[in-house]
Chain A
Amino acid sequence: MTSPQIEIQLIAAVVAMACAIPGVFLVLRKMALISDAISHSILPGIVLGFFITHDLNSPLLILLAACTGVITVVLVEAIQKTGLVKEDTAIGLVFPALFSIGVILIAKNANDVHLDVDAVLLGELAFAPFDRLLMGGVDVGPKSLWIMGSIFIVIIALLLLFYKELKVSTFDIGLSSALGISPMLMHYGLMSVSSVTVVGAFDAVGAILVVAMMIAPAATAYLLTADLKKMLLLSIFFGVFSAIAGYWMANLLDASISGSITTMLGMVFLMVYLFAPRKGLIAVLYRQKQQRTEVSLITFLLHLNNHTEENERHINHLQEHINWQKVRSKTVVTLALKNNMIEIDNKVVSLTEKGKEFTDLALEYIITNKDEKIEPMKDDFFLFRG
């Protein structure tokens, strides 16, 4: 690997980490679209900042753009508060308006400088290593690495300091407010951090990829864990993985780096969506199939429990009576036999001791709907796991 190659991957990885953390909270607060809005509406802030500083990496530009980000959120909330339109409509009204102001400003005044709409939307990671940071005349590395690195460190520090405040205000606004942990403060804090992250990252990866980097890793992690800390760590992992893998995909295909990273983020989500152990599509389908079989089993056992007379329990009669296909009857009978719940004597089926116990437990659960009744059955059967 050449050193620009390493630097590009480093920048992509740091951007991914910085985006993943606010992304988790945006996803949990059901505000994913806000990151899309912010990423577009910061454009006028960037343009104004650029006019003043003539430097795309100036801190003042980042500050101005972050302010436009927060203004977006304020405007969206103000429009929503009128009660005339819903939040998604308000978002759709605000960010194109702000974005278009930026577009007009660029077209009017900045045609001859290095700032165009394409660059803002898509970014170009490949160029990032060319813009160096000089300290006392010494080259210390690409500017965007320093900018995103600093933003990442600030984000980590804020997360460690305010983890419990972020958690409670995300989960339960009412309690948070009653405890004196102002949800408004946390909300605008998160919005400011998201804005700064988007601004810092847009130059390297573009406004579209920033959204993907915030939302996709968090959404992927959400499918895999029921623990906020693990969700944060997994998001960071998926972000960094997609950034590096995307870079090499671009290398292989000779395609846009940011495009490849975004594709990779989507593919990782798709894989997890299909194969996640609990919430994944395949797991869900498998569980539904199991549940169908188990309901059949319980129906079958209840039938046996209800009838002492032998002719009701004859294996051929059962098939007609419960009105199942041959295959299904066979699966159920095999499952019951395998679990020692029934015995077959001269084609007459009867419940074993264990089968009787199980049926009683199931009945009690059906009647009382009390969860503790079925706790011991949960290990064996999907049906009761909810």
Chain B
Amino acid sequence: MQNPTYAIQVDDLTVAYNYKPVLWDIDLHVPEGVLMAIVGPNGAGKSTLIKAILGILDPIAGSVSIYGKPYEKQRKQVAYVPQKGSVDWDFPTTALDVVMMGTYGQLGWIKRPSTKEKKASLEALEKVGMLAFKSRQISQLSGGQQQRVFLARALVQNASIYFMDEPFQGVDATTEIAIINILKELRKAGKTVVVVHHDLQTVPEYFDWVTFLNVKKIATGPVKEIFNDDNLTKTYGINYKVAVNK
């Protein structure tokens, strides 16, 4: 049953590569307005889960809905930040141009971005502190700056739900803090943010919701209630001791 009060609802989702399932029978209900981490070991299917929700991969079973409707009908509600390593940063384009790509979805086919889209993109660049680099060729940016440009591109989509695939990978500490502050602002504005995350230490500090994933869903819920040794051990297979802020 699709429940429109959930921002994201995943039912019985199974995804396979070459008939080898990488996600088994996932059920996931994400309420609106949470900042959620997806954690799990390498190969747990974290990126795959996001890609399946966004229709980039076809599941072999199960369904996904965004505010009670299939993703195809809710594209404009959703922004996506892929892994930084998934694109060629030598592509001949500038920081501003990459951010403008975020407006292509709202524009639809054929229509070109106008001054309105350009203005929004410049504002997004300013928000992530990258306005001074707007004309810089993207290969000339540092890893942290590239990630900020990607974040700006998601912001310009002006969505209700943000999916981010490892936004803290290969960025410096300043950028990490800048990014998490923006994500917390998004949550304050009532948006839902889903982040594939690697650093277990920072989960209680950054996030209020968490999903443990290892091919199957181990647990999902508020960090305060479920981020504990028991679930960490179930997910990672070894006895994990981390400091959890209770």
Among B101-109, B180-188, B197-205, B226-234, which stretch is in contact with chain A? B101-109
A-B contact count (CB 8 A): 86
Chain A residue at minimal CB-CB distance from B78 = A178
0/1 interface trace, chain A 154-169, chain B, CB 8 Å (1 if under): 0000000111110110
Q: A231 to B105: give the CA distance in the assembly, Å.
A: 25
A277 within 8 A of B: no
CB distance from B203 to the nearest CB of A (A): 25
B86 within 8 A of A: yes
B137 within 8 A of A: yes
Q: Are A177 and B55 in contact (CB under 8 A)?
A: yes
CB distance from B246 to the nearest CB of A (A): 35
Residue from the list A163, A175, A178, A371 in contact with B142, Cβ < 8 A? A371
Q: A222 to B88: give the CA distance in the assembly, Å.
A: 14
Q: Are A179 and B92 in contact (CB under 8 A)?
A: no
Q: A225 to B98: give the CA distance in the assembly, Å.
A: 16
Q: A174-B51, A222-B92, A228-B93 are in contact. Are A180 and B145 (CB under 8 A)?
A: no
Q: A161-B110, A178-B56, A179-B75 are in contact. Are A370 and B174 (CB under 8 A)?
A: yes
0/1 interface trace, chain B 79-100, chain A, CB 8 Å (1 if under): 0101000111001111000100
0/1 interface trace, chain A 348-386, chain B, CB 8 Å (1 if under): 000000000000000000000111000100000000011
CB distance from B64 to the nearest CB of A (A): 13
Which residues from B are CB-within-8-Å of A225? 92
Q: Are B101 and A174 in contact (CB under 8 A)?
A: no
In chain B, residues 160-209, which have Cβ atoms closer than 8 Å to a Cβ of chain A?
172, 174
Which residues from A are CB-within-8-Å of B51? 174
0/1 interface trace, chain B 47-90, chain A, CB 8 Å (1 if under): 00001001110000000000000001001001010100011100
Q: A162 to B109: give the CA distance in the assembly, Å.
A: 8
Interface size class of B (residues with CB under 8 A): 35 or more
CB distance from B82 to the nearest CB of A (A): 4
Which residues from A are CB-within-8-Å of B82? 172, 174-175
Q: Are B80 and A226 in contact (CB under 8 A)?
A: no
Which residues from B are CB-within-8-Å of A83? 18
In chain A, residues 220-254, which have Cβ atoms closer than 8 Å to a Cβ of chain B?
222, 225-228, 230-231
Q: Are B104 and A164 in contact (CB under 8 A)?
A: yes
Q: CB within 8 Å of B: which residues of A?
A: 28, 30, 83, 161-165, 167-168, 170-175, 177-181, 222, 225-228, 230-231, 369-371, 375, 385-386
Q: List 17 A-B contacts (CB under 8 A).
A: A164-B107, A170-B91, A171-B91, A171-B98, A172-B82, A172-B87, A174-B82, A175-B102, A177-B56, A178-B105, A179-B104, A181-B105, A181-B109, A226-B92, A227-B92, A227-B94, A370-B172
